[in-house]
Amino acid sequence: MTAPDPRFRRALAIPVGMAMATALAFLPNVSASAAESAAESPAADPTSLSYVVNVSPGHGPSKHVKKAISEAGGTIVTSYDQIGVIVVHSANPDFAKAVRKVRGVESAGNTRNAPLPAQSTTDVGTPKVIDAADVAAAEAVDGQDPLEPLQWDLPAIKADKAHEKSLGSSKVTVAVIDTGVDDTHPDIAPNFDRAASVNCVTGKPDTTDGAWRPTTGESPHGTHVAGEIAAAKNGIGMTGVAPGVKVSGIKVSTTAGYFYTEAVVCGFVWAAEHGVDVTNNSYYTDPWYFNCKNDPDQRALVDAVSRASRYAEKKGAVNVAAAGNENYDLAADEITDPVSPNDATPSDRVIDPSKCLDIPTQLPGVVTVAATGAKGIKSSFSNHGLGVIDIAAPGGDSTRFQTPAPPATSGLILGTLPGGGWGYMAGTSMASPHVAGVAALIKSTHPKASPALVKALLYAEADATPCTDPYDINGDGKVDAVCEGSKNYNGFYGWGTADALDAVTR
């Protein structure tokens, strides 16, 4: 397999035939367009960049800070006073440097390197679509939806048995912070929460009806993720992990496939303010795979997204995120990052993972999810690391490495696609929504549980999964990754493999 475009490491599912290692850059399986983001203003100054300016939360920017932003050549787009994050556009290349000197500014940095709006000519592939004739020929058996026999991932986490007890509560909502969700899909429409859906691409909420949907040519990633979580058990297509809960779409990806800080901040704050119980984050925040705190610009991005994710959790949301698809040991002493910044000219840089974070997955409080394949072992592409990975779940793998038992035919993960179709993708992008679905089942079973309790139950109920040692996924006699830790907690599977049955019975 050839290596997938790392820009989609965590938000996009990995395309068939590519090395399974995409994410968000999203964990991939998407086709990215070179067109400008439709959600961004066509009148944007082509020399402008976007910035976040972080101040003390609670009161909004002071007159002094507002004046300083203006004098430095900045225009305020919006301000999230709850967390003290201001989104600014400026054509002044020294804007952040100037504003960081201002009294009351705690950090500031540019969120991108490409002028507004960012463009890309990268094509990261498309999902493996199920043929319409095969869909039509599929039949429901023993209460299953027609395509459910192809979903080896559901029994892998005992979701099929869980559904005999509970499908989850319609009072629970999982927000898919991603590339957009097609709420007209017959498997998604019955469970879609329109009130909790929005377009956040510019960093400012766009509540236009349908603005949360992907447009023609945009990635199907978010729609795929939404189906994995909550595709309705309605006699049509496939079944989600939690087919009785609600799902919302919070679109944060530009048409070109970039997940910028201002959009991610907007997404978390929107989820916090609209009663969301779980957020799924199958991406990394562009343009840096890892954001190093010793860089003032990157530190500001970590600060802004941290504030937003903590705010969402404070308001009741469990934040779940994909670990990434590069087979990195995130607990190593150093990692070479060859893809950052992905909207300019990347270069190899050696980073210290303890000081340079993949956000949001490595932020405090966020559930970090690794991927497993049809044999129940770490997917060939999944990132790992003792003390970093919290839990594991099916994300798929090449059938060459992990072949499912019949009647399933693909080692990838089945999901919904825009326009009413179904198809396969793989990546930790696909593992994260399985855990988000299990978290939603826990919340359904324990409606008064705090995010901390939901996470504690998620880990306690996981099935302990011992290290795969040696881990030679391709059978060439060479170790492909090293797992450290015990049976009950290790670098490949964290606390273990998610268990949906325990989520509804304990």
Express each pLDDT in 20-70 by its tens digit: 223 333 333 232 222 223 333 334 455 799 999 999 999 789 999 999 999
CA 189, CA 210: separation in Å to the nearest integer? 12
Does 170 have pLDDT greater than 70?
A: yes
Tell which of 58, 83, 110 closes a domain. 110
Which residue, chain included where needed, has tokens 């509970």? Answer: 166
CA 338, CA 406: separation in Å to the nearest integer? 39
User: What is the per-residue pLDDT for 18?
Assistant: 26
User: What is the per-residue pLDDT for 25?
Assistant: 31
| Span 365-369, average pLDDT | 98
CA–CA distances in Å: residue 461 to residues 75, 206, 288, 316, 504: 49, 38, 34, 20, 10
Cβ atoms of 51 and 90 within 8 Å: the answer is yes
Residue 375, in any domain of the structure: yes
| Span 492-503, average pLDDT | 98
- Residue-wise pLDDT for 400-412, tens only, equals 999 999 999 999 9
Residue 356's closest CA among 333, 382, 339?
A: 333
Residue 254, in any domain of the structure: yes
Does 99 have pLDDT greater than 80?
A: yes
Does 10 have pLDDT greater than 70?
A: no
Does 1 have pLDDT greater than 60?
A: no
CA 260, CA 53: separation in Å to the nearest integer? 14
The confidence band for 137, taking pLDDT boundaries of 50, 70 and 90, is confident
CATH of the domain at 326: 3.40.50.200
Q: Which domain holds residue 143?
A: 6-35+121-505
Residue 23's closest CA among 393, 321, 402?
A: 321
Alpha helices (runs of H) in 166-252, residue ranges in sequence order: 221-230
| Span 351-378, average pLDDT | 97
Q: Are residues 365 and 388 in the same domain?
A: yes
The confidence band for 141, taking pLDDT boundaries of 50, 70 and 90, is confident
Residue 483's closest CA among 505, 465, 499, 506?
A: 465
Better-predicted residue by pLDDT, 116 or 322: 322
- Residue-wise pLDDT for 233-290, tens only, equals 999 999 999 999 999 999 999 999 999 999 999 999 999 999 999 999 999 999 999 9
Residue 115, in any domain of the structure: no
Phi, psi of 381, deg, nearest 5: -95, -15
User: What is the per-residue pLDDT for 35?
Assistant: 27
80's enclosing H/E stretch is strand 74-80
User: What is the per-residue pLDDT for 45?
Assistant: 58
Q: Are residues 60 and 136 in the same domain?
A: no
Q: Are residues 288 and 423 in the same domain?
A: yes
Q: Are residues 392 and 354 in the same domain?
A: yes
Cα within 13 Å of Cα(222), Cβ side: 32
Residue 477, in any domain of the structure: yes
Cβ atoms of 412 and 27 within 8 Å: the answer is no
User: What is the per-residue pLDDT for 46?
Assistant: 58
Q: Are residues 289 and 323 in the same domain?
A: yes
The confidence band for 140, taking pLDDT boundaries of 50, 70 and 90, is confident
| Span 68-86, average pLDDT | 98
437's enclosing H/E stretch is helix 428-445
User: What is the per-residue pLDDT for 118?
Assistant: 65
Number of domains in the chain: 2
Q: Are residues 437 and 493 in the same domain?
A: yes
CA–CA distances in Å: residue 298 to residues 30, 51, 192: 27, 11, 35
User: What is the per-residue pLDDT for 119?
Assistant: 55
CA–CA distances in Å: residue 458 to residues 174, 177, 244, 390, 416: 15, 21, 19, 10, 25
Beta strand pairing status for 356-357 and 291-292?
antiparallel
Q: Are residues 178 and 70 in the same domain?
A: no
Q: Are residues 100 and 229 in the same domain?
A: no
Residue type, 426: A
User: What is the per-residue pLDDT for 38?
Assistant: 30
Which pair of tokens denotes residue 147? 């395509």
CA 187, CA 373: separation in Å to the nearest integer? 24
Q: Are residues 484 and 340 in the same domain?
A: yes
What is the per-residue DSSP string for 240-292? -SSTTSEEEEEE-B-TT--BBHHHHHHHHHHHHHTT-SEEEE-B--BT-SSEE
User: What is the per-residue pLDDT for 2?
Assistant: 32
- How far, rounded to the nearest angstrom, does the alpha carbon of residue 23 sit from its chain's CA centroid? 7
| Span 383-399, average pLDDT | 98
- Residue-wise pLDDT for 440-480, tens only, equals 999 999 999 999 999 999 999 999 999 999 999 999 999 99
Which pair of tokens denotes residue 33? 């367009």
Residue 455, in any domain of the structure: yes
In degrees to the nearest 10, what's the CA dihedral of 105, 106, 112, 113? 80
Tell which of 65, 84, 110 closes a domain. 110
User: What is the per-residue pLDDT for 361?
Assistant: 98
Q: H helices then E strands: how many in the chain?
A: 11, 18
CATH of the domain at 55: 3.30.70.1510
Crossing angle for the helix pair 296-314 and 261-273, to the nearest 10 degrees: 10
Report the side by side order of strands in the sheet with 421-425: 128-129, 421-425, 413-417
CA 481, CA 298: separation in Å to the nearest integer? 29
Residue 498, in any domain of the structure: yes
Question: What is the average pLDDT score of the chain?
Answer: 90
Q: Are residues 314 and 376 in the same domain?
A: yes
User: What is the per-residue pLDDT for 345?
Assistant: 94
Secondary structure (3-state) at 2: strand
505's enclosing H/E stretch is helix 500-505
Q: Are residues 355 and 217 in the same domain?
A: yes
Better-predicted residue by pLDDT, 142 or 332: 332
Residue 54, in any domain of the structure: yes
The pTM assigned to this predicted structure is 0.92
Better-predicted residue by pLDDT, 39 or 342: 342
Q: Are residues 394 and 488 in the same domain?
A: yes
CA 69, CA 227: separation in Å to the nearest integer? 43
User: What distance, in Å, lies between the first and last C-alpha atoms of the chain?
Assistant: 42
Residue 41, in any domain of the structure: no
Tell which of 82, 110, 138 closes a domain. 110
CA 280, CA 72: separation in Å to the nearest integer? 36
CA 419, CA 129: separation in Å to the nearest integer? 12
